[in-house]
């Protein structure tokens, strides 16, 4: 069990990893990172996203202006999803927009959670100053609700991989022809049962910490088995979504499912001192 005093460190580590994963998308558009196509047409949404993702990913990595940056990037991902991916179908697993959805709701959560430790905001005590203000305290108090929203959305999108693997539903992404298959989809079909059952438990927020910990083991195995042998960079080896699920589920395993969960309603999470991200 992770103590409450350690939670800002976990939040900081997760934020750093998310910033790096996001930065590679901008680097791909600007400089052809990992062999990706360069887009310097900054008048288009896709081209403009390059410098925004490089700058935003770097700021998230450094933990500088974390809440403001996360708010802007959340909006960017929402626009990207509805403009580019939603027209291809109603579900992120089939329209190619799953990654945008994951990033969008992670950034929504970071708006409320802040930067954690190992950040410039923390070193300069910006988070402390923000949370001393009425508006800052209010935003920070929403973290348990933002975490609940993040849990529900990611539990839903994650469980769809189980239905694909076990039952053959939801064909390959229509919006991303030729994309590298996701690491999750290369596991044996029986793993789909774990994804369906685990996804349902996470969606309800029932036995959240235990369920998230078990799914972290599966996600790590999926990345090492399927993605890692195909290349070092997550943007090109099909493992990026798997890593993002792993990072977020690690937080759920440590903090619980937030206020809108069965665990919270029944009191199982409220009795745990590590169930929330402490204010810095």
Residue 42, in any domain of the structure:
yes
Q: What is the pTM of this model?
A: 0.93
Residue 276, in any domain of the structure:
no
Residue 280, in any domain of the structure:
no
CA–CA distances in Å: residue 165 to residues 9, 139, 221 = 35, 39, 16
Residue 189, in any domain of the structure:
yes
Residue 105, in any domain of the structure:
yes
Query: CA 21, CA 241: separation in Å to the nearest integer?
Result: 10
Residue 237, in any domain of the structure:
yes
> What domain range is 35 assigned to?
4-265
Average pLDDT, the chain: 90
- Other C-beta atoms closer than 10 Å to the C-beta of 131 total 18
- Quick one: average pLDDT of 21-42? 95
pLDDT band at residue 179 using 50, 70 and 90 as cut-offs = confident
Tell me 116's DSSP state.
Answer: -
Residue 273, in any domain of the structure:
no
The single residue listed with the structure tokens 């990595």 is: 61
Query: CA 31, CA 142: separation in Å to the nearest integer?
Result: 38
* Structural domain total, the chain: 1
pLDDT digits (tens, 9 = 90+) for 150-175: 999 999 999 999 999 999 999 876 56
Residue 272, in any domain of the structure:
no
Per the model's pLDDT, the better-predicted residue between 280 and 213 turns out to be: 213
Q: Yes or no: say if 162 and 193 are a contact pair by the CB < 8 Å rule.
A: yes
- Quick one: average pLDDT of 234-240? 95
């Amino acid at each position: 069990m992770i103590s409450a005093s350690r939670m800002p460190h976990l939040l900081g580590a997760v934020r750093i990893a998310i910033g790096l994963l996001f930065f590679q998308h901008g680097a791909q558009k600007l400089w052809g990172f990992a062999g990706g196509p360069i887009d310097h047409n900054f008048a288009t949404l896709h081209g403009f996203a390059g410098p925004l993702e490089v700058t935003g990913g770097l700021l998230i990595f450094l933990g500088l202006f974390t809440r403001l940056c996360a708010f802007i990037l959340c909006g960017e991902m929402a626009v990207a999803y509805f403009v580019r991916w939603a027209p291809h179908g109603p579900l992120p697993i089939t329209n190619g927009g799953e990654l945008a959805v994951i990033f969008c709701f992670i950034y929504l959560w970071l708006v409320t959670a802040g930067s954690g430790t190992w950040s410039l905001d923390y070193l300069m005590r910006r988070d402390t100053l923000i949370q001393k203000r009425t508006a800052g305290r209010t935003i920070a108090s929403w973290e348990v609700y933002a975490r609940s929203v993040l849990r529900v959305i990611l539990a839903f999108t994650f469980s769809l991989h189980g239905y694909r693997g076990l039952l053959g539903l939801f064909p390959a992404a229509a919006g991303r022809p030729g994309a590298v298959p996701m690491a999750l989809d290369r596991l044996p079909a029986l793993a789909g049962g774990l994804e369906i059952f685990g996804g349902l438990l996470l969606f309800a927020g029932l036995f959240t910490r235990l369920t998230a910990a078990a799914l972290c083991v599966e996600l790590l195995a999926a990345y090492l088995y399927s993605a890692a042998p195909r290349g070092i960079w997550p943007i090109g080896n099909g493992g990026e979504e798997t890593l993002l699920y792993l990072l977020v589920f690690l937080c759920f395993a440590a903090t619980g499912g937030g206020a809108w969960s069965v665990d919270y309603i029944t009191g199982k999470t409220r009795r745990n001192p590590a169930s929330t991200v402490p204010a810095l």
